[in-house]
Amino acid sequence: MVEKKKMKETVPAEAPPPMRVFKVGDLAVYPAHGVGRIEAIESRVVNGETHDFYIMKVLENGMVIMIPTDNVTSVGLRDIIGDADIPKVYDVMKDRGGSGVSESQTWNRRYREYMDKIKTGSLFDVAEVYRDLSLLKTTKDLSFGERKLYDTAQALLVKELSTARKKDEAAIEQELTELFAIPPADDGE
């Protein structure tokens, strides 16, 4: 009697999400630099091969970035956050229990961890950095590096949230400030 071996069922690998194709005039987010506008799509010869590039101008500072069109996913270029995700970003900032702030950690270790989060390009990660540094700032002075990261996280949040919500940057900045304002002491009256 010949024993039949049961063939393993193979589950097809999940296909990667389709690569986003941007058009001239589209707004997009580049990790650690923030919101920019696709100004052009150009072909350039690099190492003897022709490649297409998005030419993106960062709104915050006017910096121009060339992004290979076939490399969009790996560099983290993405669309502006959607309406459904905006409240989730605010929830991250309101979640005091999720704070990864540890004053016992050295400032340079915190700096590296926060920089890594900012480099992901995720607005949720940027919101975590902003939350943690805002909370830390209430108990101690931030180091120079942490202060720069705080400013960077704030600028990235304000620009993207104001763009997504079609609201003035000053109003968004005010919302963020109020989110972390220390409530006045209760005098028991």
Question: What is the reported pTM?
Answer: 0.81
Domain borders along the chain are 27-75, 83-179
Average pLDDT, the chain: 85
Residue 170 dihedral angles phi and psi, to the nearest 5°: -65, -35
Strands 49-58 and 34-46: antiparallel
| CATH code linked to domain 27-75 | 2.40.10.170
Contact criterion met (CB below 8 Å) for 133 and 114: yes
Contact criterion met (CB below 8 Å) for 175 and 127: no
Looking at domain 83-179, which of 1.20.1050.10, 3.40.50.10800, 3.30.70.1560, 1.20.58.1290 is its CATH number?
1.20.58.1290
Mean pLDDT computed over 125-153: 91
The string of pLDDT tens digits covering residues 66-95 is 999 998 988 999 999 999 999 999 999 998
Share of the chain above pLDDT 90, in %: 61
Q: How far apart are CA 154 and CA 80, in angstroms?
A: 16
The backbone region for 3, taken as left when phi is positive above 0, alpha when psi lies in -120 to 50, beta otherwise, is beta
The string of pLDDT tens digits covering residues 7-32 is 444 444 554 556 778 999 999 999 98
